[in-house]
DNA sequence: CTGAAAGCGCTTACAG
DNA sequence: CTGAAAGCGCTTACAG
């Protein structure tokens, strides 16, 4: 068995409390005894057992990160910064891909109650019992839960207005909206609202396909969109996967982008692995948003007051999918 | 304060042990008492405190997953399946992006010793004190640590031979090798060995740029490669990011792929978000490899015997980066 | 089948 | 400054 702090104390010839104090820096300790303890630690090759101290201190120093699916550029990028930021505060992050399964979302709540994690970051758009969340240390991205749950978002409305107007400026006459609608209350819905407002103001028709779909349902939706609106010459696409699938489909149908259809994506350009093509897009400040989410969560775990809503400005990037 | 099992026992009018037994199914309990306990659980809205049972049972039910960086298609895909498989065994996965920082790798070892996790999956090619690993429940991908650490890999050698020969069949006369070399002993090195062997057998010259580089160093390496071998007409690229960067660079230099340079990538084609272009590549069975890694790790944590090395066959996929 | 007790390895008031 | 003690919330032999 590995040595315990008891062994260290005994070896050093001091009391248990003293050993603990030198190990944790709590309270001052006689230099001589301190040295003896350090010596004992070395001699016994002692490592503290965190399970014990966590139980005692009633904190796990873990947070859960719930994403729909980790192998998606936006969520992976987000996860990267969440981990980096959490690490700064001494928290580890437990990764959970919800895969849109409602049990997995509910499971996170259980993990908090079971003291497996101190709190959670929610990046999902699926449903579950809101009542269960009461008082839970949770922070969400985009999604609006209710009073107790703060969230971080981007300027969905204004950015979409700008994007749609840009398509018009570039000559588009028939602009569609393609997206997968959140099943829950979410700031993402502001995108559709913005689109509709612009269409109304400019006396244009709404050409929308925006549905609640299961994971993997993008293909069917993109097809539906192109069938419904075959003569479209511009499209605002909400979501990275959807845009990728739309582009593939358009190619297959011999619709050239941007010559035949101009495209703007909400959900930006990412790292190197993104093949470096420049999509015209609304880019979210993923890093800042991820760090903010963690900062808020940590504050919340410590019982501090936090902002209920935090909005970050996006960047409009002109690429080669518009003329 | 939330209720403890003690409260449940008191409420139900039974002993602590009895309450524990009905909650964990250990040993049989009188039906009547069982019902009373269940009733108490409901009434008090009791949730067990896992920190306590973990301490008692000396298991965290957490494993760490160490990847160089999570926002990379291969690692994200790998992580997805690791989490899914771990979940089946009741384990949670703690995500750590090493960012090539040696402290982060060493930190994982500490986490195991501190009982923050029961074991770890290593997907990194950086260095640290091998001696520290002795007896640690660790499983690696590709990397060869030594006797005690099992690993999962793919058929690097044969797949590379096949790929390079394919380039020849397609008419390439000057075939280069571009990759980032692992700093440690790894099965990935078999790729370079295979390339060299084919070159030697066919009486061709080695045109290799394969260096140990820091994260983000791909660009410089790709440039070096093209400067050194400007008249190349085929290239075997090891690693996804490197290939993406190479393709971008080639485009900038007006080298068309595949017309001027044919390209084969080791590290396959992934999900939808990969823009769907078909790169000719050697595809690793990521899902199977990830699940195998977890299966082995769980066995190892439970002290069972495990295979020391497990090789999975890759698939050769012909795309549009070769003629 | 069941209750009282010991103990997992820590930390933290509490006297001194 | 420091040691002995209590306790975090469980589980698991141990008697009965």
Q: Quickly name the fold that domain A60-152+286-310 has.
A: Rossmann fold (3.40.50)
Identify the band that residue B240 occupies on the pLDDT scale cut at 50, 70 and 90: confident
CB contact under 8 A, B65 and A95: yes
B278 has a pLDDT exceeding 90? no
In whole angstroms, D14 C1' to B35 CA is 25
B177 has a pLDDT exceeding 60? yes
CB of B56 lies under 7 Å from some atom of strand D: yes
Chain B contact for A157, CB < 8 A? no
Closest of B127, B121, B76, B122 to residue B101, by C-alpha: B127
Question: At which residue do the structure tokens 């959970």 appear?
Answer: A96
Give the span between the Cα atoms of B216 and A273, in whole angstroms: 12
Give the span between the Cα atoms of A170 and A177, in whole angstroms: 16
Chain B contact for A277, CB < 8 A? yes
Helix (H) or strand (E) holding B208: strand B208-211
Higher-scoring residue by pLDDT: A311, B275: A311
* Contact list, B237 vs chain A (CB under 8 Å): none
Nucleotide in closest CA–C1' contact with A2: C9
Most confident residue range from A13-17, A85-89, B211-215: A85-89
Residues A241/A213, Cβ–Cβ less than 8 Å = no
Nucleotide in closest CA–C1' contact with B14: C3
What average pLDDT does the segment B225-243 reach? 93
Find the helix packing angle between B5-12 and B31-44, rounded to 10°.
Answer: 120
Q: What's the pLDDT at B47?
A: 94
* Contact list, A50 vs chain B (CB under 8 Å): 114-116
Give the span between the Cα atoms of A282 and A297, in whole angstroms: 26
B272 has a pLDDT exceeding 80? no
Chain B contact for A247, CB < 8 A? yes
Helices (H), chain B: 5-12, 16-24, 31-44, 50-57, 73-88, 102-113, 156-169, 189-201, 218-228, 240-252, 286-301
Shortest distance between the Cα of B258 and any Cα of chain A, in A, equals 16
| CA atoms within 13 A of residue B15's CA, in its CB half-sphere | 5
Chain B contact for A1, CB < 8 A? no
Give the span between the Cα atoms of B96 and A95, in whole angstroms: 10
Residue with CA nearest D1 C1'?
A: A29
Could you state, in order of their start, the residue ranges of all structural domains in chain A? 5-56, 60-152+286-310, 156-285
Strand D nucleotides, any atom under 7 Å to a protein CB: 1-14
Give the span between the Cα atoms of B89 and B61, in whole angstroms: 9
Nucleotide in closest CA–C1' contact with A3: C9
In tens, the pLDDT along A229-286 reads: 999 999 999 988 899 889 989 988 999 999 999 999 998 666 555 555 688 999 999 9
CB contact under 8 A, B50 and A95: no
Higher-scoring residue by pLDDT: A161, A34: A161
pTM, two decimals, is: 0.94
Give the span between the Cα atoms of B148 and A32, in whole angstroms: 40
Phi-psi region of B171 (alpha: psi -120 to 50; beta: other; left: phi over 0): left
For B218, residues 6+ apart whose C-beta sits below 8 A from its C-beta are A272, B180, B239, B241, B242, B245
**Biggest CA pair distance of chain B:** 85
Residues of B (295-314) whose Cβ lies below 8 Å from A: none
In tens, the pLDDT along A125-156 reads: 776 666 667 678 999 999 998 888 999 999 99
Of the residues A272, A278, A279, the best mutation for testing chain B's interface (the one with the most B CB atoms within 10 Å of its CB) is A272
> What tokens does B278 get?
């078909």
* C-beta within 7 A of nucleic chain C, residues 21-80 of A: 21, 23-24, 26, 46-49, 51-53, 55-57
10 Å Cβ neighbour count for B310? 18
- Which of B51, B72, B270 is opposite residue A60, by nearest beta carbon? B51
What average pLDDT does the segment B103-115 reach? 90
Chain A contact for B16, CB < 8 A? no
Query: Does the domain at residues A5-56 carry the CATH identifier 1.10.260.40?
Result: yes
For B101, residues 6+ apart whose C-beta sits below 8 A from its C-beta are B126
Chain B contact for A76, CB < 8 A? yes
Identify the band that residue A25 occupies on the pLDDT scale cut at 50, 70 and 90: confident
| CA atoms within 13 A of residue A283's CA, in its CB half-sphere | 16
Find the helix packing angle between A31-44 and A16-24, rounded to 10°.
Answer: 90
CB contact under 8 A, B49 and A244: no
What average pLDDT does the segment B65-71 reach? 93
Residues of A (91-130) whose Cβ lies below 8 Å from B: 92-97, 99, 110-111, 113-116
User: Rounded to an integer, what is the distance from CA A9 to the centroid of its chain?
Assistant: 45
Residues of A (172-231) whose Cβ lies below 8 Å from B: 218
Pick the CATH number of B156-285 from 3.40.50.150, 3.40.50.2300, 2.60.120.620, 3.20.20.10: 3.40.50.2300
* Contact list, A113 vs chain B (CB under 8 Å): 2, 47
Residue A172 CA: distances (Å) to CA of A56, A176, A197, B85, B152 = 64, 10, 17, 47, 52
CB contact under 8 A, A71 and B69: no
Give the span between the Cα atoms of B70 and B79, in whole angstroms: 8
3-class DSSP state of B87:
helix
Closest of A234, A123, A232, A244 to residue A184, by C-alpha: A123
| CA atoms within 13 A of residue B138's CA, in its CB half-sphere | 28
3-class DSSP state of B148:
coil
Concatenate the DSSP letters of all residues of B165-187 into one string. HHHHHTT-SSEEEEEE--SS-BT
| Coarse DSSP helix, strand, coil percentages of chain B, rounded to the nearest 5 percent | 45, 20, 40
Number of H helices, E strands in chain B: 11, 12
Chain A contact for B42, CB < 8 A? no
Higher-scoring residue by pLDDT: B25, A95: A95
* Contact list, B79 vs chain A (CB under 8 Å): 70-71, 95
CB contact under 8 A, B273 and A218: no
Weakest mean pLDDT among A141-150, A189-198, A220-229, B120-129: B120-129
Residue with CA nearest C2 C1'?
A: B18
Identify the band that residue A183 occupies on the pLDDT scale cut at 50, 70 and 90: confident
CB of B60 lies under 7 Å from some atom of strand C: no
Higher-scoring residue by pLDDT: A50, A135: A50
Share of chain A above pLDDT 70, in %: 94
Chain B contact for A248, CB < 8 A? yes
Chain A contact for B79, CB < 8 A? yes
In whole angstroms, C5 C1' to B58 CA is 20
* Contact list, B249 vs chain A (CB under 8 Å): none
Identify the band that residue B24 occupies on the pLDDT scale cut at 50, 70 and 90: confident
Q: What is the mean pLDDT of chain B?
A: 91
B276 has a pLDDT exceeding 60? no
In tens, the pLDDT along B153-170 reads: 999 999 999 999 999 999
With CA atoms as reference, the chain B residue closest to A72 would be B273
Give the span between the Cα atoms of B129 and B146, in whole angstroms: 12
Share of chain B above pLDDT 90, in %: 70
Same fold, A60-152+286-310 and A156-285: yes
In tens, the pLDDT along B44-61 reads: 999 999 999 999 999 999
Higher-scoring residue by pLDDT: B166, B216: B166
What are the residues facing B235 on neighbouring strands?
A: B176, B263
3-class DSSP state of B101:
coil
Give the span between the Cα atoms of A112 and A105, in whole angstroms: 12
Q: What's the pLDDT at A24?
A: 85
* C-beta within 7 A of nucleic chain D, residues 25-64 of A: 27-30, 32-33, 52, 55-56, 58
Three-class SS of chain A: CCCCHHHHHHHHCCCHHHHHHHHHCCCCCCHHHHHHHHHHHHHHCCCCCHHHHHHHHCCCCEEEEEECCCCCHHHHHHHHHHHHHHHHCCCEEEEEECCCCHHHHHHHHHHHHCCCCCEEEECCCCCCCHHHHCCCCEEEECECCECCECEEEECHHHHHHHHHHHHHHCCCCCEEEEEECCCCCECCHHHHHHHHHHHHHCCCCCCEEEECCCCCCHHHHHHHHHHHCCCCCEEEEECHHHHHHHHHHHHHCCCCCCCCCEEEEECCCCCCCCCCCCCCEEECCHHHHHHHHHHHHHHHHCCCCCCCEEEECCEEECCCCCC
Shortest distance between the Cα of A220 and any Cα of chain B, in A, equals 13
Give the span between the Cα atoms of B101 and B79, in whole angstroms: 19
Residues A261/A274, Cβ–Cβ less than 8 Å = no
Q: What letters, b where the CB count within 10 A reaches 16 and e where it falls short, cover B200-236?
A: eeeebeebbbbeebebeebbebbbebbeebeebbbbb
In whole angstroms, D5 C1' to B117 CA is 31
Residue B82 CA: distances (Å) to CA of B89, B224, B294 = 11, 36, 6
Question: At which residue do the structure tokens 């602009």 appear?
Answer: A175
Q: What's the pLDDT at A112?
A: 94
Three-point CA angle B27, B33, B34, nearest 5°: 55
Give the span between the Cα atoms of B116 and A91, in whole angstroms: 11
How many residues does the structure list for chain B? Answer: 323
In tens, the pLDDT along B188-206 reads: 999 999 999 999 999 999 9
CB of A114 lies under 7 Å from some atom of strand C: no
Q: What's the pLDDT at A75?
A: 93
User: Rounded to an integer, what is the distance from CA A36 to the centroid of its chain?
Assistant: 47
Residue B165 CA: distances (Å) to CA of A16, A210, B168, B256, B317 = 68, 48, 5, 21, 14
Closest of A174, A142, A163 to residue A281, by C-alpha: A163
Question: At which residue do the structure tokens 């996967």 appear?
Answer: A241
């Amino acid at each position: 068995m590995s040595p315990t702090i008891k062994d260290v104390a005994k070896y050093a010839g001091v009391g248990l409390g003293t050993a603990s104090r030198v190990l944790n820096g709590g309270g001052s300790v006689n230099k001589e005894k301190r040295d003896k303890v350090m010596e004992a630690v070395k001699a016994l090759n002692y490592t503290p057992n965190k399970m014990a101290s966590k139980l005692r201190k009633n904190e796990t120093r873990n947070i859960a990160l719930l994403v729909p699916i980790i192998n998606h550029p936006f969520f992976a990028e987000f996860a990267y910064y969440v981990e980096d930021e959490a690490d700064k505060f001494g928290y580890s992050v437990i990764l959970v891909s919800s895969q849109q399964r409602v049990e997995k979302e509910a499971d996170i709540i259980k993990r908090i109650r079971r003291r497996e994690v101190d709190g959670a970051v929610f990046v999902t758009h699926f449903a579950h019992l809101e009542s269960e969340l009461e008082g839970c240390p949770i922070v969400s991205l985009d999604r609006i839960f209710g009073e107790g749950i703060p969230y971080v978002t981007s300027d969905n409305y204004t950015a979409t207005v700008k994007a749609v107007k840009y398509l018009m400026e570039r000559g588009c006459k028939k602009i569609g909206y393609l997206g997968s609608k959140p099943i829950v209350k979410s700031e993402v819905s502001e995108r559709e609202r913005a689109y509709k407002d612009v269409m109304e103001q400019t006396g244009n028709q709404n050409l929308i396909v925006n549905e609640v779909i299961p994971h993997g349902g993008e293909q069917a939706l993109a097809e539906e969109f192109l069938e419904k609106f075959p003569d479209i010459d511009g499209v605002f696409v909400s979501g990275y996967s959807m845009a990728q699938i739309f582009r593939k489909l358009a190619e297959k149908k011999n619709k050239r982008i941007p010559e035949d259809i101009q495209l703007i994506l909400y959900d930006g350009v990412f790292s190197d692995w993104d093949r470096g093509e420049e999509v015209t897009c609304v880019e979210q400040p993923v890093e800042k948003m991820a760090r903010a989410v963690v900062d808020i969560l940590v504050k919340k775990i410590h019982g501090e007051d936090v902002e209920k809503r935090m909005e970050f400005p996006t960047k409009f990037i002109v690429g080669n999918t518009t003329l």
